[in-house]
């Protein structure tokens, strides 16, 4: 009763019981201090009462905060459990009854910043990462004066960092990564003198780096990467004596790296990659004696690698790639004995390959100017696991060079001048990948090579290898890729090749192989790419080709094959038979050209449903063009030229997405269909020359938005040449090549010919055209080749034509043109006219002789040579344009300037094969992009990742697309490497990959255009969508796992070059309008970082997804992707993020460790997402999928399955009988 009277309560309810115990506790404390005087006792009593009132206030605030989280009730179950006291709620930490920390990381709040949090005045830690919070950071956050830890990363926050944040002088850590914050870093940051960590990477913060950063004397971690800063690195940063990690990668920084950087004695990680320094690396970097990781790739550094770098004895990772370093690699680096990975590719390093790299595990010095021979002692230390020396100037042989490399798994010597025979000892090494292509190796293939137990890929193409392909080749049972093209191999293809049952890609082109194609070859039923072109193969194409049901690329061109095209050839070019087993080089590529094939094109061609390119030219095929072509919805290129085909041009009327159609030199006849513009809406190149077409040329053809190359020469066409589309100049701008010579066209040539504003080649000779030459021709500034000879033109010669700077050939002879103005033109025989008038001075035999000489010179020399120049320099001229797949994209002549996006236009010809993209590529100006994104307004941002910022946009015709503006791009030499990568990615077509629609390359800006994915990312659905429980039931989740696995496996195993994703994660799995998964961002590491086998630590993955072996070596592998995909499966199963698992007693908090910990403690049943069903067959399926995920996330790469095995396992699980009631999500 005494305790009760002290507390002044009546003990009846649970809350009153709590008050009773509090009062009792206070009573005993008072008795403990009963010796104190009265005043001290009074002070203690007042303090306790005040503390109690404050604590009770925090509890009430928690209830208020809970009321704002009703939409996320499923993720905060303890908050809505009346039996659990507020201080025991998940994510809440109290001291006594005062709330000191709130951690709601990965809870999908999907709302503006929760205002109720600002009420907790005693808050020390606030963690709201990955909550889908949008809007600006509120100024009121600055009222939390006790705040020490603030984590708001991975949200959709916008606007500047509020100034009030700099008033929180107790702050120790600020983490704002992966948002869309803008504005500048304020100099007021100097007020945060307790700050140890500042991280804002992947935002849009701009302006100069404030020198005041250098006053943060306790700072240990500074990461400001992937922002839009300007100017230099302030030297004041070098005052941070406790700094351990300095990451300023891809920040648009310029100038010099401060020479005082050597004062950062505690620095362990230095990442300045992706900047624009245009300076030398200071020697003072050698004073960083604690440095372990150095990343300077793509930093525009020049000069020599400083020898002082050899003083950094703790270095483990060094990345100097894609710079302009010259001279030799300093000998002082020999003392760096702890180096695991050294990347120096794409520089200008010269000298010899140092033998001391034998102490390192992975070395990439490709694309340099190294010379001499590879040192014979390079393997003495047995450390080398991966050595890449491709594209240097190395000479000599390797007869004994690598004999001691007992741990070497990857050897790439492509593109050197190495010679001698391929040594036998290579079979005894643990090689997995061997590339000796593009060298001068000679001799026969060593029989020992086929006895290797580990090798999966062999590339020996472009050498001078001779002899036979040995029968022993069948011993390489595990071989997946064999490329021995461009050699001098002879004899038959041995039947034993059929023993390579795992072979996906076989390339033997450009050899001297003879005999028939062996029947046994078709036992290699995993083949997806078969190239036997340019040999001396004879006989028929075997009907056993039907066994290659996975085939998607077949090239048998330039042989002596005869007989008919077997109907069974299309058993492999289908979707249905192998929808989950597609390994592609050129998806849907069939080339049987330049053989001796006869007979008709089989009607079964319609079964080649995935056919994209068909090349049958140069044979003796007869019959008509099959109407079944209309069933090939993916067809973009058809070449049937130089055959004996008869009948009409287009025996179908339905539209096809053809971009290139070549029908020249056949016996086709009839009219060109008037509706051809509708049948071929995407046509870019149309060659109908050398046939017997009659009647007129349809105007709908010349009104095509996409047509750039039209050849109708050597036919029987008549009537007028149709003018460009009347009233719509836009429709005529794309035509660049027009040849209508040797026909019967008549009438005049109208002035509106100049509407063909892109025209560079015009040949209409040998017709019956009349009237005056249109003076508007002089307005065609791109005109390069002009031949109007042998018509009936009259009047005066328009001298303005000769003012066209680009013109290299013009011929007006055989007309009735006055020559008064010709003297002002270019040299005779380059620009000629033959005036038929009665005041001639020269006798006929002189004119005849001159005309003959000119004709010979022009026709034989200039016509051929300049046509080649024209094709290479003019038709493929890069005009700073966007290439976009769209059937109705607007064509324009020349993009206008923009200070933000464009510099001067580049004349570097792109190496893009337009016909390899899925649909037509049309020109869209940069202004269309700027307009679609409101000048890259933040309002249109739908994501910001490691490679760039993504904007939602609509093209002028309304097509919705996603536009990715790449971060940190450094222009390649002439853009050839960038364009080559774009061409590679553009060829990647799979239903579970996000297709690339186009690109824009201007100055130092790179923009990629992708198909828009309506339902966003898997990550968003797992953590930021309130309706995820309904939409992502178990069948839907299993469908997503299987589909994305198919996409990733497609990248790994059969597309050449193989593509390693390098950043597989749930945010890179997008969902289309049918919730079908699409893997995105594949191949971008090669564009952004320009790596092909390695990437730096800031590119190779995302925390939580990075496999453990990447901590030892930065070599990215397919098994690394498998690990990352295993983490994605765990996310799907658990609904949890890949990091920051709080409910485990040990480990580093990542999802893999948490799953292992829960399993080890017998709590496997608690792993699965509570939103998923708890019983029945679905739970059995989830357990099976969990087993696959555990295999994928094994610590040792060799214990992980391949993606092919993952797909097989997931499909077997999906085929289990489903429960009859699907109440928790739609059926996949």
| Spatial separation of the C-alpha atoms in residues 1035 and 1227, rounded to whole Å | 6
**Both tokens of residue 47?**
């303090």
* Omega within 30 of 0 (cis) for the link into 1057: yes
Q: Phi and psi dihedrals of 799, rounded to 5? A: -65, -20
Q: Are 518 and 545 in contact (CB under 8 A)?
A: no
Determine how β-strand 737-739 pairs with β-strand 761-763.
parallel
Strands 341-343 and 245-247: unpaired
Phi, psi of 47 (to 5 degrees): -60, -45
1122 three-class SS = helix
Which tokens hold the place of 989?
A: 């077509």
Query: What's the rounded Cα separation, in Å, for the pair 188 and 174?
Result: 14
Residue in 860, 263, 255, 972 with CA at minimum distance from that of residue 272: 255
Residue 1126's nearest CA partner among 1210, 1194, 1219, 1205 is 1194
Catalytic residue among 1063, 1081, 1121, 1169: 1063
Burial label, 1223 (beta-carbon count in 10 A; 0-12, 13-18, 19+): exposed
Task: Check whether 197 is labelled as a binding-site residue.
Answer: no
1063, 1052, 1125: which is closest to 1089 by C-alpha? 1063
**Cα 932 to Cα 33: distance, rounded to the nearest angstrom:** 74
Q: From CA 353, how far away is CA 370, in angstroms rounded?
A: 7
Cα angle for residues 177, 274, 332 (degrees, 5° grid) = 115
Is 1063 designated active site? yes
Nearest-CA neighbor of 1194 among 1125, 1100, 1093? 1125
Q: If you ran DSSP here, which 8-state letter would residue 1085 be given?
A: H
Q: Where are the alpha helices (DSSP H) in 1024-1110?
A: 1028-1031, 1034-1053, 1084-1088
3 state DSSP class of 20? helix
Q: How far apart are the C-alpha atoms of 118 and 162, rounded to whole Å?
A: 14
**What is the distance between the alpha carbons of residues 589 and 916, in angstroms, rounded to a whole number?**
9
Length of the chain: 1228
Contacts of 160 (CB under 8 A, 6+ apart): 136, 181, 182, 183, 184
Whole-angstrom Cα distance, residue 982 to residue 1001? 11
Q: CA-CA-CA-CA torsion for 74, 80, 83, 87, nearest 10 degrees?
A: 100
Neighbours of 552 (CB within 10 A): 29
246 and 271 Cβ atoms separated by less than 8 Å: yes
DSSP state of 740: -
Nearest to 789, CA basis, from 849, 735, 854, 870: 854
Euclidean distance between CA atoms 996 and 990, whole angstroms: 11
**Any idea which residue has 């610590």 for tokens?**
1195
Q: Which residues contact 1002 (CB under 8 A, 6 or more apart)?
A: 880, 901, 902, 903, 905, 906, 926
| Interatomic CA distance for residues 428 and 420, integer angstroms | 19
Count CA atoms closer than 13 A to 597's CA, side-chain side: 30
Half-sphere exposure of 116 (CA within 13 A, CB side): 16
Q: At what angle do helices 1203-1214 and 1034-1053 cross, to 10 degrees?
A: 150
Q: Which residues are annotated as a binding site for ATP?
A: 964
Query: Among all residues, which ones are annotated catalytic?
Result: 1063
Q: Which residues are annotated as a binding site?
A: 964
């Amino acid at each position: 009763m005494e305790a009760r009277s002290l507390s002044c309560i009546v003990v009846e309810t649970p809350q009153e019981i709590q008050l009773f115990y509090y009062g009792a506790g206070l009573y005993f404390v008072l008795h403990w201090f009963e010796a104190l005087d009265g005043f001290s006792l009074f002070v203690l009593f007042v303090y306790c009462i005040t503390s109690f009132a404050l604590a009770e206030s925090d509890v009430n605030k928690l209830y208020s905060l809970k009321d704002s989280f009703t939409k996320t009730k499923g993720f905060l179950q303890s908050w809505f459990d009346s039996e659990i006291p507020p201080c025991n709620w998940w994510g809440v930490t109290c001291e006594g009854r005062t709330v000191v920390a709130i951690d709601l990381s990965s809870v999908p709040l999907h709302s503006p910043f929760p205002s109720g949090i600002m009420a907790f005045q005693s808050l020390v830690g606030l963690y709201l990462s990955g909550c889908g919070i949008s809007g600006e950071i509120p100024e009121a956050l600055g009222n939390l004066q006790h705040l020490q830890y603030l984590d708001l990363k991975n949200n959709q926050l916008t606007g500047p960092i509020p100034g009030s944040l700099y008033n929180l002088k107790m702050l120790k850590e600020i983490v704002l990564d992966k948002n869309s914050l803008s504005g500048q870093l304020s100099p007021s940051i100097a007020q945060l003198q307790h700050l140890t960590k500042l991280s804002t990477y992947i935002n849009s913060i701009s302006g100069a780096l404030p020198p005041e950063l250098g006053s943060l004397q306790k700072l240990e971690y500074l990461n400001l990467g992937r922002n839009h800063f300007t100017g230099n690195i302030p030297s004041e940063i070098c005052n941070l004596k406790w700094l351990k990690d300095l990451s300023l990668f891809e920040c648009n920084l310029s100038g010099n790296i401060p020479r005082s950087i050597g004062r950062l004695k505690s620095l362990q990680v230095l990442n300045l990659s992706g900047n624009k320094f245009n300076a030398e690396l200071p020697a003072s970097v050698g004073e960083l004696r604690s440095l372990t990781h150095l990343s300077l790739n793509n930093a525009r550094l020049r000069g020599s690698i400083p020898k002082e770098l050899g003083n950094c004895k703790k270095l483990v990772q060094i990345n100097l790639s894609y710079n302009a370093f010259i001279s030799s690699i300093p000998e002082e680096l020999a003392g760096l004995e702890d180096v695991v990975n050294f990347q120096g590719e794409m520089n200008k390093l010269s000298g010899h390959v140092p033998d001391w790299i034998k102490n390192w595990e992975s070395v990439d010095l490709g694309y340099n100017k190294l010379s001499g021979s590879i040192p014979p002692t390079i393997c003495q230390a047995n450390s080398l696991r991966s050595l890449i020396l491709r594209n240097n100037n190395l000479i000599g042989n390797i007869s004994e060079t690598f004999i001691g490399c007992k741990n070497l798994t990857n050897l790439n010597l492509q593109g050197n001048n190495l010679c001698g025979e391929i040594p036998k000892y290579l079979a005894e090494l643990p090689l997995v990948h061997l590339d000796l292509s593009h060298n001068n190796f000679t001799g026969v293939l060593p029989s020992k090579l086929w006895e290797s137990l580990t090798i999966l890929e062999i590339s020996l193409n472009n050498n001078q290898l001779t002899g036979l392909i040995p029968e022993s080749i069948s011993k390489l049972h595990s071989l997946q890729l064999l490329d021995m093209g461009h050699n001098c191999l002879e004899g038959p293809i041995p039947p034993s090749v059929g023993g390579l049952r795992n072979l996906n890609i076989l390339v033997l082109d450009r050899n001297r192989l003879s005999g028939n194609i062996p029947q046994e070859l078709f036992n290699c039923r995993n083949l997806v790419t078969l190239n036997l072109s340019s040999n001396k193969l004879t006989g028929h194409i075997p009907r056993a080709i039907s066994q290659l049901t996975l085939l998607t690329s077949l090239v048998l061109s330039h042989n002596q094959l005869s007989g008919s095209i077997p109907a069974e050839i299309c058993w492999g070019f289908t979707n249905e038979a192998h929808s989950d087993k597609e390994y592609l080089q050129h998806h849907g590529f069939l080339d049987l050209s330049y053989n001796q094939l006869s007979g008709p094109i089989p009607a079964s061609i319609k079964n080649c449903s995935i056919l994209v390119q068909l090349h049958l030219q140069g044979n003796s095929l007869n019959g008509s063009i099959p109407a079944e072509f209309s069933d090939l919805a993916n067809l973009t290129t058809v070449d049937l030229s130089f055959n004996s085909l008869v009948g009409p041009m287009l025996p179908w009327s339905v539209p096809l997405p053809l971009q290139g159609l070549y029908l020249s030199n056949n016996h086709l006849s009839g009219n060109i269909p008037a509706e051809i513009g509708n049948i071929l809406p995407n046509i870019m190149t149309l060659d109908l020359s050398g046939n017997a077409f009659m009647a007129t040329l349809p105007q709908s053809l010349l009104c095509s938005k996409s047509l750039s190359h039209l050849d109708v020469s050597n036919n029987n066409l008549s009537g007028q040449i149709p003018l460009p589309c009347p009233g719509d100049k836009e429709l005529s701008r794309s035509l660049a090549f027009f040849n209508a010579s040797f026909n019967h066209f008549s009438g005049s040539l109208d002035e509106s010919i100049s509407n063909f504003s892109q025209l560079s080649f015009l040949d209409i000779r040998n017709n019956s055209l009349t009237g005056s030459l249109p003076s508007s021709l002089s307005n065609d500034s791109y005109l390069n080749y002009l031949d109007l000879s042998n018509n009936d033109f009259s009047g005066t010669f328009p001298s303005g034509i000769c003012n066209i700077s680009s013109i290299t050939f013009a011929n007006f002879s055989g007309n009735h043109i006055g020559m008064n103005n010709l003297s002002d033109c270019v040299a005779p025989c380059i620009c000629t006219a033959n005036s038929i008038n009665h005041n001639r001075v020269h006798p006929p035999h002189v004119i005849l002789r001159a005309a003959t000489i000119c004709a010979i010179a022009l026709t034989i020399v200039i016509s051929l040579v300049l046509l080649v120049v024209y094709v290479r320099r003019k038709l493929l001229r890069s005009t700073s344009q966007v290439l976009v797949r769209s059937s109705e994209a607007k064509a324009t002549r020349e993009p206008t300037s923009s200070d933000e996006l464009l510099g001067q236009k580049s004349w570097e010809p792109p190496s893009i094969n337009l016909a390899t993209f899925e649909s037509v590529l049309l020109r869209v100006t940069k202004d269309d992009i700027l307009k679609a994104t409101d000048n890259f307004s933040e309002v249109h941002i739908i994501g910001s990742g490691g490679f760039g910022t993504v904007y939602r946009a609509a093209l002028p015709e309304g097509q919705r697309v996603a536009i990715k503006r790449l971060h940190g791009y450094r222009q390649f030499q002439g853009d050839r490497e960038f364009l080559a990568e774009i061409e590679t990615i553009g060829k990647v077509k799979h239903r579970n990959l996000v297709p690339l629609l186009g690109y824009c390359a201007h100055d130092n800006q790179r923009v990629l255009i992708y198909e828009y994915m309506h339902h966003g990312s898997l990550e968003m659905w797992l953590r930021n969508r309130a309706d995820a429980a309904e939409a992502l039931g178990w069948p839907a989740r299993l469908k997503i796992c299987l589909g994305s696995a198919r996409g990733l496996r497609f990248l790994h195993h059969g597309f050449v070059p193989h593509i390693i994703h390098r950043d597989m994660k749930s945010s890179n799995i997008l969902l289309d309008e049918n919730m079908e998964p699409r893997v995105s961002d594949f191949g971008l590491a090669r564009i952004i970082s320009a790596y092909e086998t390695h990437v730096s630590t800031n590119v190779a993955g995302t925390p939580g997804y990075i496999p453990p072996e990447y901590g030892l070596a930065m070599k990215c592998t397919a098994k690394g992707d498998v690990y990352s995909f295993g983490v994605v499966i765990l996310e799907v199963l658990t609904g949890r993020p890949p990091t920051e698992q709080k409910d485990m007693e040990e480990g580093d908090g990542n999802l893999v460790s948490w799953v292992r910990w829960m399993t080890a403690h017998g709590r496997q049943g608690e792993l699965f997402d509570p939103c998923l069903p708890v019983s029945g067959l679905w739970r059995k399926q989830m357990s099976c999928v969990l087993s696959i995920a555990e295999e994928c996330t094994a610590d040792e790469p060799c214990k992980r399955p391949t993606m092919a095995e993952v797909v097989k396992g997931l499909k077997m699980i999906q085929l289990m009988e489903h429960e009859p009631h699907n109440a928790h999500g739609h059926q996949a």
